[in-house]
């Protein structure tokens, strides 16, 4: 095997491990990840899996980062060529809700699951989950403020409050879709969000 092919194969194996780790973590939590379990799932040796990560925490952090990348890739197309403000906000919220309805993970949105799991556990993994949540919160606030500045929303609009409610609706949608298997969860969330996205 050529060195170039060996590097590519190593990279592909690494990605496969992280992808499987995301699926497992969405169901069993980031703390539920184990080198032995992943090795068994992927038909690899424990040493073969362990060799890709300095420790379990690195695996957890890479799973969070990869989940953010998947989310970003799912949302970004809806935002292209959208004007800042309500147009981009509505498109982003719709793409977000669609993502939560049809998440790429068996246990629902990994970041939502990790937020519930890690909220009382200080450390780098929790910090990574908070950073992921902060990025989405910043997007919502940025577009709300842009809408206020453009006159699309009243000048006295409480952007922080609208953002808080939108985030709560996303969490509620994820829970209703996963815990309750409610087929109308997305419609309910959209109906509740509508007044927040109108001028």
In a domain, 44, yes or no: no
Check residue 4 and give its pLDDT: 60
Check residue 65 and give its pLDDT: 98
Per DSSP, the residues of 12-70 read HHHHHHHHHHHHHHHHH-GGG--HHHHHHHHT--HHHHHTT-SSHHHHHHHHHHHHHHH
Half-sphere exposure of 162 (CA within 13 A, CB side): 27
Q: How many domains does the chain have?
A: 1
**Backbone phi, then psi, for 163, in 5-degree steps?**
-65, -45
Domain encompassing residue 78: 56-196
CATH number of the domain that residue 90 is part of: 1.10.357.10
In a domain, 162, yes or no: yes
In a domain, 78, yes or no: yes
Mind listing the pLDDT tens digit for each residue in 108-158? 999 999 999 998 899 999 999 999 999 999 999 999 999 999 999 999 999
Check residue 3 and give its pLDDT: 57
Overall pTM surpassing 0.85 (yes/no): yes
Overall size of the chain counted in residues:
199
> Which one, of 168, 165, 167, 184, lies nearest residue 176 by Cα?
184
Residue 85 DSSP code:
T
């Amino acid at each position: 095997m050529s060195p170039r092919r060996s590097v590519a194969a190593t990279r592909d194996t690494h990605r496969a491990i992280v992808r499987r780790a995301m699926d497992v973590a969405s169901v069993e939590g980031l703390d539920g990840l184990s080198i032995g379990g992943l090795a068994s799932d992927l038909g690899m040796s424990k040493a073969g899996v362990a060799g890709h990560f300095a420790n379990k925490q690195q695996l957890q952090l890479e799973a969070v980062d990869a989940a953010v990348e998947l989310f970003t890739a799912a949302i970004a197309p809806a935002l292209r060529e959208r004007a800042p403000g309500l147009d981009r906000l509505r498109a982003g919220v719709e793409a977000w809700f669609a993502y939560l309805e049809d998440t790429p993970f068996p246990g629902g949105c990994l970041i939502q699951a990790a937020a519930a799991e890690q909220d009382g556990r200080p450390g780098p993994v929790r910090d990574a989950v908070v950073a992921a949540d902060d990025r989405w919160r910043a997007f919502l606030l940025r577009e709300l403020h842009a809408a206020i500045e453009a006159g699309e929303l009243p000048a006295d609009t409480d952007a922080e409050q609208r953002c808080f409610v939108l985030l709560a609706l996303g969490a509620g949608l994820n829970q209703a879709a996963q815990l309750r298997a409610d087929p109308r969860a997305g419609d309910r969330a959209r109906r509740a969000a509508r007044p927040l996205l109108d001028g």
